[in-house]
Amino acid sequence: MARIKKLTIASGKIEMFAFNLPGLPDNIRRSGRGTYWVGLAATRSATHPSTSVIITEDDLDIAPDLFSYFLNLRYLLEKDKTLWCVSAWNDNGKPGNIDRIANTKLYRSDFFPGLEWMMTRRTWQELEPKWPGGFWDDWMREPEQRKGRQCIRPEISRTGMTKDGRKGVSGGRFFRNHLSKMLYQLHIGNLFSVSSNTHILLS
């Protein structure tokens, strides 16, 4: 059973913190909401391998409907082989550039958005042997990796950069001028679903 136990140092007491996890826990930290982030290093059972891979970063916050967003769009990656990822991020997602109520509007994009995205197990197996040690988002945008394929990205981002993302090669300037101004979905309970009101446009 994949689980996490809590040790109270003062008393030496050990308690069950979380159990029946879907993968093997690897690293844990507090979130800005008083909850915890837990990294899962591998699927729990080799006999039931995951069919999808979600790649995130440890300085991101996520919208309440992030996983329903991915779950509802996963079928597109099987149905359309010209797609290779579903991203939760809109690089142009500042309030003045988007329709704030169009939370089901989607775009096909030649540009790899990054910042929390999903791909199939098959695509991961293609990329993993040559995965770079750094700057993987730029690497993903190279023709050798993209191979003419496109990504789905939302009108309203499902992820946002936390203050932990201030550090970077620009010394915080890119965060101040761009990343910190992005709007992302914060309406708890308004879960994403595919319906006749869902629009997929060319970007």
Structure confidence by residue, pLDDT tens digits, 4-49: 888 888 888 898 887 767 677 777 877 666 667 777 766 655 566 7
Contacts of 74 by beta carbon, 8 Å cutoff, 6+ apart: 52, 86, 118
Task: Report the pLDDT value the prediction gives residue 76, as an integer from 0 to 100.
Answer: 92
Per-residue pLDDT of the chain (203 residues; tens, 9 = 90+): 578 888 888 888 898 887 767 677 777 877 666 667 777 766 655 566 778 888 887 777 788 788 888 988 999 999 999 999 999 988 887 888 888 778 788 999 999 987 889 999 999 999 999 998 888 889 999 999 999 999 999 998 888 777 766 666 566 676 667 667 776 765 544 455 555 455 555 54
Pairing of strands 52-55, 117-120: antiparallel
Residues 149, 41, 39, 4, Cα dihedral to 10°: 150
Contacts of 18 by beta carbon, 8 Å cutoff, 6+ apart: 3, 4, 25, 38
Q: Tell which residue, 194, 49, 43, 35, has the closest CA to residue 121.
A: 49
**Whether residue 65 lies in the annotated active site:** no
Burial-class residue 38 by CB neighbours within 10 Å (0-12, 13-18, 19+). Answer: middle
Q: Where are the domains of the chain?
A: 1-46, 50-202
Region 50-202: CATH code: 3.90.550.10
Say which amino acid occupies 125. Answer: Q
Contacts of 51 by beta carbon, 8 Å cutoff, 6+ apart: 120, 121
Task: Report the pLDDT value the prediction gives residue 19, as an integer from 0 to 100.
Answer: 72
Say which amino acid occupies 166. Answer: R
Q: Active site residue: 59, 80, 137, 164, which one?
A: 137
Task: Report the pLDDT value the prediction gives residue 142, as an integer from 0 to 100.
Answer: 95
With beta carbons less than 8 A apart as the criterion, state whether 159 and 62 touch: yes
Say which amino acid occupies 152. Answer: I
